[in-house]
Amino acid sequence: MQKLRLAVQKSGRLLDGSIKLLNDCGISIDNEKNQLKASAKNFPLEVFYLRNSDIPQYLEDGIVDIAIIGENTLIEKEKEYQVVQKLGFSRCRLSLAVPKNANYDDFSFFEGKSIATSYVNTLQQFLQKNNINAEIHQISGSVEIAPNIGLAEGICDLVSSGSTLFKNNLKEVEVLLKSEACLAKNRSLDQEREQILETLMFRIKAVLRGRKSRYILMNVPNDKIELVTKQLPVLESPTVLPLAKEGWSSVHSVIEKDQFWEVIDELKAAGAKDILIVPIEKIMT
């Protein structure tokens, strides 16, 4: 039987999230010896541990069928791929930053200046699109120190919380792109591997929906059920179960994690009490 070949980052920020996602999908990989390649025990999947920046090439060449990788890397490497699913972790943005005390109005600031980056292609495209002539210094790490040591007047780098910029006396001035980890695939998979990918995608979607959602339970007086239900942005209609206490029910539903704080006040005002919010492992519809 064929196996689907998946590339993940060998080490670095994406690795833990990638392995956690597979584990949450019920797929366990035994790679105690730290090998380049390991097979899943209970799923037709072979995992290749590769250097992050090499993954787009392996994907284009069909050495691997799919990859978990940051969109920023795919865009920078300009290889052939198709994004199958955004995965919701390792969110970051590729931004331009300048010294905190620089007088910055708009990106014409960079005309005739030098910018340090590891993202040469993406930056070049941005500069071209905006008709800016700037000198690009390609460096492979610790880009944020470039202005402090006089190597460049600005930088183009990945930002998530912004604390690295802050610590280096820099301010973010333009966002070139937003990125998160995604599942990308080679454009031409054979049918057997497409089928395995479909099974994997079913599991991944169930996990991602579970991560985004919460199970909500609350006690509601029977005459307020309709009013409370109206406030719930639910999957389908809620489950209503009678409580031992006369005239009261327990209302159960599913709510998006981010929506919860927006509706809590309305739910309370509508008559809901003893509200419980419980994590959901997976949702399959």
Distance CA 66, CA 28 (A): 17
72 binds ligand AMP (CB under 6 A): yes
Written as six digits, the tokens of 175 are 């966002």
The correct pick among 55, 155, 158, 189 for binding ligand AMP (CB under 6 A) is 158
Which residue's beta carbon is nearest to the bound ligand AMP? 70
168 binds ligand AMP (CB under 6 A): no
The correct pick among 128, 133, 160, 188 for binding ligand AMP (CB under 6 A) is 160
Distance CA 279, CA 151 (A): 48
**85 class by beta-carbon count within 10 Å (0-12 exposed, 13-18 middle, 19+ buried):** middle
For 175, list phi and psi in degrees, rounded to 5: -100, 120
78 binds ligand AMP (CB under 6 A): no
Instruction: Name which of residues 22 to 61 contact ligand AMP (CB under 6 A).
Output: 52
Q: Tell me which amino acid residue 183 is.
A: L
Instruction: Classify 110 as helix, strand or coil.
Output: helix
CB atoms within 10 A of CB 164: 16
Q: Which is nearer to ligand AMP, 50 or 232 (CB)?
A: 50
Instruction: Name which of residues 88 to 107 contact ligand AMP (CB under 6 A).
Output: 90, 92
Site string for ligand AMP, 250-279 (x = CB under 6 A): ------------------------------
Site string for ligand AMP, 169-198 (x = CB under 6 A): ----------x-------------------
Distance CA 272, CA 285 (A): 27
CB of 52 to ligand AMP, least distance (A): 5
CB atoms within 10 A of CB 276: 12
The correct pick among 3, 10, 13, 252 for binding ligand AMP (CB under 6 A) is 13
Interacting stretch for ligand AMP, rule CB under 6 A, among 21-29, 155-163, 167-175, 257-265? Answer: 155-163
Interacting stretch for ligand AMP, rule CB under 6 A, among 40-48, 125-133, 152-160, 270-278? Answer: 152-160
Q: Which is nearer to ligand AMP, 52 or 253 (CB)?
A: 52
Instruction: Give CB contacts under 8 A, 24+ apart, made by 230-239.
Output: 230/270, 231/263, 231/266, 231/267, 231/270, 232/263, 232/267, 233/259, 233/263, 235/283, 235/285
Task: Kindly give the pairing relationship between strand 181-185 and strand 170-179.
Answer: unpaired
Distance CA 270, CA 259 (A): 17
CB atoms within 10 A of CB 163: 9
Size of the site for ligand AMP (CB under 6 A): 13
Torsion angle defined by CA atoms of residues 243, 247, 253 and 257, in that order, rounded to the nearest 10 degrees: -100
CB of 265 to ligand AMP, least distance (A): 33
CB of 20 to ligand AMP, least distance (A): 14
Q: Which residues bind ligand AMP (CB under 6 A)?
A: 12-14, 52, 70, 72-73, 90, 92, 158-160, 179
